[in-house]
Structure 1
Amino acid sequence: MVCEGHRLCFREDSSTYTQGQSPEPRIREYFYYLDHQGQLFLDDTKVKNFVTCFKDQQFLVFFFKHLKVNRSGRYQQHFPFLSLCGRERNFLRCDDQPVVFTHLLSETPHLSYCGGGTKLTFPFQPHSLFMHPDSGRVYHPAPELVGGVGLVRSALAIEFSPHFHYSSGQDSSAQPTHFLWAGQRYTLTNELLRHFAVK
């Protein structure tokens, strides 16, 4: 992982971290941030946009395929996810979820996530889509290693929105009950509700 200098950028309790720090011999630690569009940044990047996010697919695929819940005992409160790369520890915090689905692959019923194209995918499960009643954001199951739930990027959620159906007499501000896809009408299970504290 490339470190853009050694910059002090975060305080956890009484300790601080520096990008590329070496808490043990031959160990390096880096700190990342994932936004709600599925773009990955060094955590201390001041301006976070498409220009400054990581775009190398090989790097992104490796990073997210090795991502898991952080149980290392280090920075768990503020960086709840960890991707190990040899002797590098890559800590991740995110705006919403550690997986952000960005595209539906038309050739297969899979969702692509976090810039990985066809190399980072998860089977599309229309019945498991969940629209959060407070935020209106849409979620979908994700790999269990990262908690089992991923965010659907807003642009993709907008593509899905005409396929949501509601109970008779309710408008699109209510909770959808069905999802019409590829000629089938799926009853939404709302199974992902358990991952959220809903008002």
Structure 2
Amino acid sequence: MLQRLEFNKTGSYEAFPYLSKCMGELSFLRCDDRPYVFTKLDKSGGNWIVNNSNRKVLFEPDKLCMFPNGRLYHPAPFDDFGLVRSSIAEELFHRFEFDGDGKPFAFNWEDRQISLTNQLLAFSNN
């Protein structure tokens, strides 16, 4: 379904911001947060597993971004960024370094401290 995911520009069902076309059928979709959810981190291959599927996205630790709402995000090939599953975010939490204001500035990965770009904060509404 993710291969066919696109923005709903039909003018119909505006409460559903996403659309998936399959064999002439239109499925209108909405989600609580993001359509891409990173459900597993394949540490050996350096990839995220997306939505419990065989779809993979390259893991870029410097691009992890914790929004003010406490959720963790990472760039995705659709709609700019995806949500990191909460159980994975909890596993990764101890790897973050925080400044005096409690904002993450670095991530410890493979025996290195990696500075976070926090570029995704531009998309944060909080």
TM tier, shorter chain?
over 0.9
**Superposition pairs of residues 47-86 of structure 1, within 5 angstroms:** 63-75=1-13, 77-86=14-23
Partner of 1:100: 37
**Superposition pairs of residues 146-157 of structure 1, within 5 angstroms:** 146-157=78-89
Code of the residue aligned with 1:91 in structure 2: it is: F
In structure 1, stretches of 5+ residues that fail to align are 1-62
Partner-residue secondary structure (3-state), 1:192: helix
Give distance in 2, aligned partners of 1:107 and 1:179. Answer: 18
Give distance in 1, aligned partners of 2:3 and 2:116. Answer: 28
Give distance in 2, aligned partners of 1:152 and 1:107. Answer: 18
- Give the Å deviation of 1:106: 2.6
Code of the residue aligned with 2:106 in structure 1: it is: H
Partner-residue secondary structure (3-state), 2:35: coil
Taking structure 1 as the reference length, what is the TM-score of the superposition? Answer: 0.61
- Give the Å deviation of 1:72: 2.0
Give distance in 2, aligned partners of 1:180 and 1:122. Answer: 20
Give distance in 2, aligned partners of 1:196 and 1:69. Answer: 19
Partner-residue secondary structure (3-state), 1:177: strand
Taking structure 2 as the reference length, what is the TM-score of the superposition? Answer: 0.94
Larger RCO (CA within 8 A; separation ≥ 6):
2
In structure 2, stretches of 5+ residues that fail to align are none
Write 1 or 2 for the structure with the bigger share of strand: 2
Code of the residue aligned with 2:48 in structure 1: it is: L
Q: How many residues align?
A: 126
CA RMSD of aligned residues (A): 1.3
Partner-residue secondary structure (3-state), 1:178: strand
2:27 equivalent to 1:128: no
Give distance in 2, aligned partners of 1:90 and 1:107. Answer: 35
